[in-house]
Structure 1
Amino acid sequence: MAKKNLSKAFVMDEGPKKPAISYWAKEEVMCPVCQKPFKQEVMHQGGGRTIAGNLTDELHRNYEPSKKFGRVYPLIYEIGVCPNCHTALFWKDFKGIKDGATFDRLAASSDKRIRAVENIFPHYNVNDERTLFDGAAMYYLALLCYENVDIAYSPTFKRAEIALRLAWLCQDIEHVSPGHNYDYIAQVFYRKALFFYQQTLINETGRIESIESVSHFGPDTDKNYGYDGIIYLSGLLEYKYGQRENLQLRLKKLEDSKKAIARIFGLGKSSKAKPGPLLEVARDLYDKIAAELGSNNIFGDDDE
């Protein structure tokens, strides 16, 4: 299938039109970059639209399809996109960011990011009700936009979360419409997420870029796993998607991750506020890392 026809083919692959999943909010959003208003698409709540499925080791909530609405992807409604300049941000940042230099950089890079997104998500649409394909394109627009956002607004963490969600959405696209290499693209975004999650920790501990302003750490929309979630995901992504060419470097990074994960256990045993699912997946990750280190004759201190 020709790449230029992918968007149309993907919409066809989604099947017949289902009852409304979203609606247009009455109050318009003002784009701080081009100063033009646009409508906000909001997902309806309730009515059997979302049927919660399993939670993956990446803290991603899968949703089962329903007979009435089909498969729903709540993630795709979290990003807003101005249809005029294609500035894409988390909805609250359209009002929350108040840095003129950021807006200047976003305005200057508009054409460049549109071309970049078109290369991966050809003929994406930001004007109509969004499909999974359009939603993924919007996340990629946002990933590129946050490159230009001032560090006062925690762009490194937001790029980490966006990149991880992009990996999930690309896997969903591959599942719905296979054969277009979105499984490979997902791996690229996983590696980007690995870099940004680890850079978030470096920036936070080095007091380079604070994450105090972040209210929801996700990584998905259903639960907030906080700062411990960042530590866990940094270790998990290293274990699953980190480089393997340099074995000694890999083992060192895994040993560091193992120690960080162990500290989560120590806190979790005495705190009822720690999310139970996080402790469960962290314990599993700790065991997997310990097993790999052991098979390579690397024995760290007992951190438990």
Structure 2
Amino acid sequence: MTTAFISHEDCGLHNMGPEHPEAPVRLLAIRKVLEKTGLMAELDQQQSVHVTAQQIQLAHAELHQKRLEMKVPKEGIFYADEDTALCPDSLHAASLAAGSGILAVNRVLEGKAQNAFCAVRPPGHHAEHNIPMGFCFYNNIAIAAIHALQQPGINRVAIFDFDVHHGNGTVDIFKDRPEVLVCSSFQHPFYPERYSEIKRDNIVNCPMDAHSGSAVFRQLIESRWLPAIQAHKPDMIFISAGFDAHHEDPMADIKLDEEDYRWVTSMLADSARTYSENRIVSMLEGGYNPVSLAFSVQAHMEVLAGH
């Protein structure tokens, strides 16, 4: 089983200030753990590529990128909203993050990798069709999923988001596209408080109270996600892999651990074997304690790599 690991050192150039939780150290911690454990040597390591304007427009309004470009400062930081800031290199990093999903889809569909994980930042799942928000500029997973749907043999896809925050941007982009199943588990009530109550056959929202823990998380996944997968039968599976529901993460209070991420990844890998010819593209979203993030990614990667 070949697993691609797609990343780029320039994703570390995006810097929203010394106190911001979505920091360059996140990717450094992931790489350090994967190298120390020897797992990195088993992976098909690839450099991210830039996304094109046409590919951004697969998921976003035509002027979305131009509006962002107008906000990029020549120096210092400009806040697009109260949480989301641009520095001079932010859109360079965001372009590489989004482009990594395109590369991942291509490598999987070309048979060069069975699955792929994109260790990139900034994340993407809060970026709506026409709004950057929640640390996100381009919706990386949505761009990748729509790119996949343009390829021969890919008629239905499914996106599974276990970040502690609801993937509102992904829901916004796909709410009226029944060929895309979007399943999201998240703490509620909690940021971003958008689309958590939406009613669509292809949107499976799984809100959880604070302090819910492993048992509630696993029960929700088994009772809500599995039937949805079985009904949808996706040709390819995408994962918005946010690890900020970990009990050591400072951002929220769901109280998961590495074994929960190993478990949910195994369940999705089993579904990919059944319905999707093992095709999985996973992209990093949240996770703001560098240590717990790195070990959670290790568990996720071990499953993808067949350990």
Same fold (TM over 0.5): no
Decide which structure has greater strand share. 2
Question: Rg bigger for which structure?
Answer: 1
TM-score, with length taken from structure 1 = 0.29
